[in-house]
Amino acid sequence: MSFIMNNKVANKLFEIADLLELKGSQFKPRAYRRAAQNIVNSSTDIIESYENDKLQEIEGVGESIASKVREIIETGSLEYLEDLRKQFPEGLQEMMDIQGLGPKSLMKLYKELNIKNIEELEKAAKNKKIREIEGFGEKSEKNILKNINMYKKFQERFLLGNILPIAKKIESKLSELEEVERINLAGSIRRMKETIGDVDILIISTNPDKVMDYFTGLEEVERVVSKGHTRSTIITANKLSIDLRVVEAKSYGSALQYFTGSKEHNIKLRSIALDKNWKLSEYGLIDKDSMDTIASEQEKDIYSSLELDYIEPELREDRGEIEAAREGKLPQLIKIEDIQGDLHIHTKWSEGSNSIEEMAQAAKKKGYKYLAICDHAETLQVASGLTSEEIRTQMKEINQVNKNIEGITILSGIEANIDSEGNIDVKKKILKDLDVVLASVHSGFKSSEKKMTDRIINAMHNDYIHILGHPTGRMLNKREPYSVNLKKVFEAAEDLGIILEINAFPERLDLNDVNCKNAKNYDLLMCINTDSHHVEHLRFMEYGIATARRGWLEPKNVANTLDLKELRKLL
């Protein structure tokens, strides 16, 4: 869910956590972050909790945070935060988002070199000033420059998972207007790309001016960049830009095709049109001599006129889809309805927020037939990993839940940690009793490609492992994938019958689309898991499906499209 006030409140609490961290506070930042995260994840509008005097029922919200939440809801601001802000120069907080720079280092750079923002940091690093400070060296100086570049690169794009709920909400508000006859999301968000530059929306309207008034007056709008009869652009509080275009009914199909992109796909399509002496634009597919319109109203007619099968938006990246469409060889893409269950779920037993029972009920509501509980194992202490005894006790609880619930089967599993040698942190005698064993890398990301590849393939040789979790370790906008030879991993997966995860968590989407498409060339299976830490996260399946579709996958490539009986046989 996404409630506007929940986000507003949480953003302020996250900011408090950052600033307290700069002050050197030890535990408070964590308390604020936990509360903020639960507020974002909550399926209740915080205004409702406030009105019913139930703020303290939100996990992690005690008396002190509740009173701050009340102040934010009542006044729109918070004095405590204003005071904190005054204690630091403005740019310091933004610098906390640069990887590898903790609050202690930042304060040191501030005190010794008076570095107050990213620009000054970059300049100091380039002028080799940072290496002179105690505790920093040439290497850390170079790292800072590298991480500044990465930060700048990432700043420009938003995660699909953060944007799609907002875009859909605005789409649904607009679609309720009488004056809106048709509406579609276009651009990268229609193609479900993992990151989004801006949101593009197309409509047909009987009264564009009225729609534009409504659009620029939406409560999500922070700033109106431009407002016109056929196009307006607004910016939301989190700096997302949204374009709304009004197009004519008679050219809606070609406009939708054009504004969906990608640019590379469109360029190739235009050259195919040119070969037929036709011109393709946002206004239609038009014969260059007679100026007759060949197709324009319906998007699918553009493709069929060009003698191509209809190409789903997720495929429109010029990665071979046009050639496949010409030969009738497009894949029958997997759909969310094909998914029978989720094989990577966390609960309160490790770092999740809900009980096994709660996760089971939520999964049943989605129509799933099975759900594998894969909490972390022992060595992942930051995530309260489970000891052998705890795994045994958890298995008993799973049995109990299975007795009390019908229509869905809860599988006992583990997310084991692959150590630097490729061993995992669960004993064999326990592994053999678990239904699902998922293993993943959580440390040592800087190893050489050879070492990382050997390590992962060693782990894959373990007879009890079924699934390799988030195979490249990347975190969108935060961490590049570790170096690993995926070709070798795919070969090993084929030989050893290991399933490769497509982790659907919005920051991960790992394997990504291109890797999925490459993996499809091997005789192996993938599976789409949400890695949920909260009942609300089960919906992330949508992003995993998007990644799989963008990777050309069909139901037969994905293990969790199987029914329980077939899945058990496979495992």
* Chain contacts with ligand DGT (rule: CB under 6 A): 187-188, 193, 196-198, 200, 258-259, 261-263, 266-267
Residue 153 or 263: the one with the smaller Cβ distance to ligand DGT is 263
**Separation of first and last alpha carbons in the chain:** 34
Give the 3-state DSSP-derived string for 347-403, with helices as H, strands as E and coil as C.
Answer: CCCCCCCCCHHHHHHHHHHCCCCEEEEEEEECCCHHHCCECHHHHHHHHHHHHHHHH
Contacting residue, 21, 194, 243, 435, with Ca ion by CB under 5 A: 243
- CB nearer Zn ion, residue 266 or residue 462: 462
Distance CA 114, CA 108 (A): 9
Which two tokens mark 568? 């058990």
What are the structure tokens assigned to 119, written together? Answer: 């620009």
375 DSSP β-pair partners: 414
> What does the alpha-carbon distance between residue 422 and residue 440 come to, in Å, rounded to a whole number?
10
**Shortest Cβ distance from residue 547 to ligand DGT (Å)?**
16
**Which residue's CB atom is positioned nearest to ligand DGT?**
261
Residue closer to Ca ion by CB (options 187, 284) is 187
List the one residue from 531, 542, 548, 549 that touches Zn ion (CB under 5 A): 531
Residue tagged 């229509």 (tokens): 407
Instruction: Find the shortest distance in angstroms from Cβ 163 to ligand DGT.
Output: 10
Q: How far is the CB of 442 from ligand DGT (least distance, A)?
A: 30
Helix/strand number for the chain, H first, E second: 24, 17
User: 390 touches which of Zn ion, Ca ion, ligand DGT, none (CB within 5 to 8 A by kind)?
Assistant: none
Cis peptide before 511 (omega within 30 of 0): yes
Q: How far is the CB of 173 from Ca ion (least distance, A)?
A: 19
Q: Which is nearer to Ca ion, 50 or 158 (CB)?
A: 158
Residue placing its CB nearer to Ca ion in the complex, 84 or 255: 255
DSSP 443-492: S-TTS-HHHHHHHHHHHHTSTT--EE-STT--BTTTBPPPP--HHHHHHH
Strand partners, 503: 510, 529
Closest approach, Cβ 185 to Ca ion, in A, equals 9
Please count the other Cβ atoms lying within 10 Å of the Cβ belonging to residue 534: 21
SS3 assignment, position 417: strand
CA distance 331 to 319: 13
**Nearest residue (CB) to ligand DGT, 37 versus 547:** 547
267 contacts which partner out of Zn ion, ligand DGT, Ca ion, none, CB within 5 to 8 A by kind? ligand DGT
Q: Cα 360 vs. chain centroid, distance in angstroms? A: 23
Helix (H) or strand (E) holding 566: helix 564-570
How many chain residues interact with Zn ion (CB under 5 A)?
2
Partner whose footprint covers residue 261, from Zn ion, Ca ion, ligand DGT, none (CB < 5 to 8 Å by kind): ligand DGT
Of 410-429, which residues contact Zn ion (CB under 5 A)? 415
Shortest distance, CB of residue 200 to Ca ion, whole angstroms?
Answer: 5
Chain position whose Cβ is nearest to Zn ion: 531
Using CB distances below 5 to 8 A depending on partner kind, what does residue 141 bind out of Ca ion, ligand DGT, Zn ion, none? none
Nearer to Zn ion, 269 or 436 (CB): 436
Nearest to 135 by CA among 168, 165, 106: 106
> By C-beta, is 29 or 284 nearer to ligand DGT?
284
Task: For the CB of residue 454, give the shortest distance to Ca ion in the complex, in Å.
Answer: 41
Is residue 194 a contact point for Ca ion (CB under 5 A)? no
Q: Which of ligand DGT, Ca ion, Zn ion, none binds 531 (CB below 5-8 Å, type-dependent)?
A: Zn ion
Q: How far apart are CA 271 and CA 370, in angstroms?
A: 48
Closer of 196 and 519 to ligand DGT (Cβ): 196
Nearer to ligand DGT by C-beta: 68 or 193?
Answer: 193
Strand partners, 342: 371
Nearer to ligand DGT, 91 or 197 (CB): 197
C-alpha 359: how far from chain center? 20
4: nearest Cα among 222, 210, 177, 202: 222
Whether the CB-CB separation of 355 and 347 falls below 8 Å is answered with yes
- Tell me the three state secondary structure of residue 461: coil
Residues 139 to 158 in contact with Zn ion, rule: CB under 5 A: none
Closer to ligand DGT by Cβ: residue 98 or 235: 235
Q: Count the Cβ atoms, other than its own, within 10 Å of residue 404.
A: 8
Q: Find the part of the chain contacting Ca ion (CB under 5 A) among 188-196, 214-222, 263-271, 528-536.
A: 188-196
User: What CA–CA distance (Å, rounded) separates 384 from 402?
Assistant: 24
| Residue 266 contacts which entry, Ca ion, Zn ion, ligand DGT, none (Cβ below 5-8 A, type-dependent) | ligand DGT
198 binds Ca ion (CB under 5 A): yes
- With CB under 5 to 8 Å by kind, the binding choice for 262 among Zn ion, ligand DGT, Ca ion, none is ligand DGT
CB of 267 to ligand DGT, least distance (A): 5
Shortest CB 197 distance to Ca ion, Å: 5
CB of 330 to ligand DGT, least distance (A): 20
- In the complex, least distance from residue 125 CB atom to ligand DGT, rounded to whole angstroms: 29
Asked if residue 187 binds Ca ion (CB under 5 A), the reply is yes
Is the CA virtual torsion 256, 260, 266, 269 positive or negative? negative
Q: For 87-104, what is the HEC assignment?
A: CCCCHHHHHCCCCCCCHH
303, HSE (Cβ side, Cα atoms, 13 Å): 20
Interface residues toward Zn ion, by CB under 5 A: 415, 531
Interface residues toward Ca ion, by CB under 5 A: 187-188, 198, 200, 243
